[in-house]
Structure 1
């Protein structure tokens, strides 16, 4: 991860999309592959994809934007953040770069965004890779609950991040510090709190794309999930694979919510092969 972090400045670009100054990272050439990050305190495209982007760029044009309201892409006080705006921002990002369609690789919230974009306009989507992605209705987990209540604090950031991987020792001091500093920016938590409902005492339902809508998706799809995912349970990966007609499923054992980091080499090879086989 360290070597990728050192390359961030060289790969960082800015463009206007749907009225937002959008920070993104780009490398490589060929078929466009867009990496959509997850949610959570201090999240950004780079924190999710710093290792994945340069390796996929060996065979593809890879782009990783900070989604509107997250990372260093602008947050607008008067904007109504929700899935309609995020889809509009994603399509505006593609339009600004003259990309008619792309493979969408979505992590968690990013997977939900990829699904919503596909349902809105499938002609913009060549294929889908969905990592730890919510689907249907499920009960809010501790990882999601803790992220909603988070206020900038180093120790609390460490505690929350250790909920995500199967092996909590994957969480380094450098990772905690970088996510903490990002989380302390003005407005950094606002978009996340608009993404999921405020946790209630007892069980809080979270609603992803309904099963009946998943059945209408006709794009080639690869579902990837960690067997020990404590943030988005693996049962939701099975749900996606069952309901999306063209979906294949790969479950990684001894793996939590950060498949792209925990099983980096195998995950990257799966995505590289999937994107390479699309017509």
Structure 2
């Protein structure tokens, strides 16, 4: 199956602007939520996985507001994302879906699953969930995101991209140029600073430290079967982040991929797809 960004792109008008997404395949609906970082989009996160997933599912890769594809809102993109998911599903008339969330997308998915137990049938996350237990916080990858937000040079972008993968050979000149062009768009860069600027990062860490119930402390409320997928060599959300969700989400299981950084669905594409399809198509048990 050959898919292109142009052929799969769709638009949904909502009361807070147009949400754009990529649709491919037929079958049960499968929502795909992308991560954050310079130049990220839903298409770039999942374009290589869609041909495989679309054989079994109606894949819906949402573009979060604030990342240069869907219309931005006045809110911090991290705050706007869960609301965009609810508007998106309501607009498509979908009340119950399976979901895959990469990094920030996984964080958004589990947050919604805590608040809305009926929303997701099964959940797959790719890093990004839990909290640092053994490793420093912020992580190397997050610190490099801050460096890029504060000083958006090509070298800073390359340093961050290197922290995302186990094998730097994946970082082709074409990939770097694609990310650079998107990441330095003025509106997209401003959105990145609202998430990863030095002041924004400090405020986020302070808010987490003083929250009465941060998301990681409410993971026990998730009732949906959950597959946590993780790169063993993740330098953005290191593997020890998986310990808390693995233990506290009642129906959680953990799949760790060797020789793999934060982009598990890209760097270990075939192994990741095999594990995810086995999980999503497994017969339900009581």
- C-alpha root-mean-square deviation of aligned residues, in Å? 2.5
Higher helix share: 2
Distance 1:199 1:84, change over 3 A: closer
- After superposing the two structures, state which structure 1 stretch, 210-219 or 223-232, moved more: 210-219
> Taking structure 2 as the reference length, what is the TM-score of the superposition?
0.87
Q: Which moved more, 1:144-153 or 1:178-187?
A: 144-153
Q: Which moved more, 1:238-247 or 1:221-230?
A: 238-247
**Contact in 1 for aligned 2:132/2:241 (Cα 8 Å):** no
Matches within 5 A, 1:72-111: 72-76=69-73, 79-81=74-76, 83-111=78-106
User: How far is the alpha carbon of 1:84 from its aligned partner?
Assistant: 4.5
| Structure 1 position 254 matched with structure 2 position 254 | no
SS of the aligned residue for 2:260 comes to: coil
Question: What is the aligned partner in structure 1 of residue 65 from structure 2?
Answer: 68
Q: Does 1:181 align with 2:178?
A: no
Unaligned runs of 5+ in 1: none
- Corresponding residue for 1:191? 191
Match of 1:16 in 2: 13
Question: How far apart, in 1, do the equivalents of 2:171 and 2:25 lie?
Answer: 29
CA-CA distance at 1:200 after TM superposition:
10
Shift of 1:80: 2.1
Q: 1:148 aligns with which of 136, 146, 149?
A: 146
How many positions carry a matched residue from both structures? Answer: 273
Q: What do residues 208-260 of structure 1 show as CA deviations (whole Å, max 9, x unaligned)? A: 95443011111100001011101101001222111111000001111111100
- Closer, same or farther: CA 212–141 of 1 in aligned 2, 3 Å: closer
Q: Provide the C-alpha distance between the structure 1 equivalents of 2:15 and 2:252, rounded to a whole number of angstroms.
A: 31
**Partner of residue 165, structure 1:** 165
Which structure 2 residue ranges, 5 or more long, are not aligned? none
| Length-normalised TM-score, structure 1 | 0.89
